[in-house]
Amino acid sequence: LVKPFDPQELLARIRAMTRRSAGRARAVLQCRDLEIDPAARTVTQAGLPVALGAKEFALLQTLVEASPQV
């Protein structure tokens, strides 16, 4: 979306993103002793908290969600 943008287009894009994400369950993800809580944006390994930045968290979440294929 480039400036100047049409408010109607912005609203349409927000609605589309909301529809796409509405079907996704945001349950706690697990991979061995790693637990990812997308709602709380927390990661624990063997019960201990792991500090991650936003990009690291997003990458880890994506990899764990695709874990059967990765």
pLDDT in tens, 9-55: 888 888 887 777 665 656 899 999 999 998 899 999 999 999 999 99
Number of helices (H) and strands (E), helices first, in the chain? 2, 4
Report yes or no on whether pTM surpasses 0.75: no
Q: Say whether pLDDT at 56 is over 90.
A: yes
pLDDT value of position 4: 74
Q: Which class is 25-70 in CATH?
A: mainly alpha
Instruction: List CB contacts of 50: < 8 A, sequence separation 6 or more.
Output: 43, 44
Q: How far is CA 57 from CA 4, 13, 18, 54, 70, in A?
A: 32, 24, 21, 5, 17
Amino acid residing at 42: T
pLDDT for the residue numbered 24:
60
